[in-house]
Amino acid sequence: MPNGVAKQNLPTKICPACERPFTWRKKWARDWDSVIYCSDACRKKR
């Protein structure tokens, strides 16, 4: 049995720039609460 969480059970947020949902990534583990945009392109757009 693999360790971790199934992809369906990862937390999601809605990007305010593109209005699309994005899911948790391992690189955001420490600062998930402060992540607002799904990508650098969306961050630059706002």
Ordered by start, the domain boundaries in the chain are 12-45
Predicted local distance difference test score (pLDDT) of residue 41? 96
Residue labelled with tokens 């799904």: 38
pTM for this model (two decimals):
0.78
pLDDT score of 14: 97
| Residue ranges for the chain with pLDDT beneath 50 | 1
* pLDDT at site 8: 85
- Please give the pLDDT value at position 7: 83
Q: What is the pLDDT of residue 1?
A: 43
Q: What is the pLDDT of residue 5?
A: 78
Interatomic CA distance for residues 39 and 8, integer angstroms = 20
Q: For residues 25 and 7, give the distance between their C-alpha atoms in angstroms, rounded to a whole number.
A: 10
